[in-house]
Amino acid sequence: MPFLLPLFTIGIPALILILLLIRQVDQYERGIILTMGKFSKIWQPGWHVIIPVFQRLIKVDVRVKAVDVPDQEAITKDNIPVRINAVIYYKVNDAAKAVIEVEDFYYAVSQLAQTTMRNAVGEVTLDELLSNKKEISVKIKEAVDTASDPWGIDVQSVELKDIVLPDSLKRTIAKVAEAEREKRAVIINSEGEVAAAKNMAEAAHTLAASPGALHLRTLQSINDLSSDQSNTTVWMVPVEVLKALEGLAKK
């Protein structure tokens, strides 16, 4: 086996050389090549040959990333302090810019989102913030997207998650909500009384327009009361009632 020794001696250095020259870029990555410190090309996914010492490879993940923006103290337009957090979704559109134009694009996007979110909250009142979360999220997204364009970043969306109010303000809002419910109850009750009064007025007008109708209504009330044997009532029946009954009997 003496002939295998030269082959083994040549094969090992060749394998080491191949490992030094070959670089792999995965499907979700792009490779930024710096030749002697200057940007030269972008590698697509696959195997590539690199020149050691003279070239340097920087891999950039181009998948959509979700950045959780931590709680931020902000003051609304009507001077109410709130704590707010959000999540921002973005991806790298231009890998070269993401490496060359900004030191750490992940950290930069997070800081930009925090600043933009505080500014957006300061431009609206608390009621607008609570009722228009979607519109405010879109506004923050557009601002962050515009500011990060020079870095090769595409912001997909921004979602406001939690808006935390001070405990004292929560109690105040609860009292206001309770007062509003009581107000609606009083209004509904008064509307019912108005409707009942209108119906009673119409009934009285109908009875007054028909001769003897009021007396017939009186007799009906007497009949209703007499249905219960435990009730004892004394009624003074006016002569007009008898005349009304006599008139009905003639008909």
90 contacts 154 by C-beta, under 8 angstroms: yes
In the chain, which residue ranges form alpha helices assigned H by DSSP?
Answer: 4-21, 95-100, 105-122, 126-131, 133-148, 167-209, 213-226, 239-250
pTM, to two decimals: 0.62
- How confident is the prediction along the chain (251 residues), in pLDDT tens digits per residue? 454 445 456 667 666 767 678 888 999 999 999 999 899 999 999 998 888 888 899 999 999 999 888 888 888 888 888 888 889 999 999 999 999 999 889 899 989 998 998 888 888 888 888 888 889 999 999 999 999 999 999 999 998 888 887 776 666 666 666 677 777 877 888 877 778 777 777 766 665 666 655 555 665 666 665 666 665 666 555 555 555 555 555 55
What are the residues whose beta carbons fall under 8 Å from the beta carbon of 128, sequence distance 6 or more? 77, 136
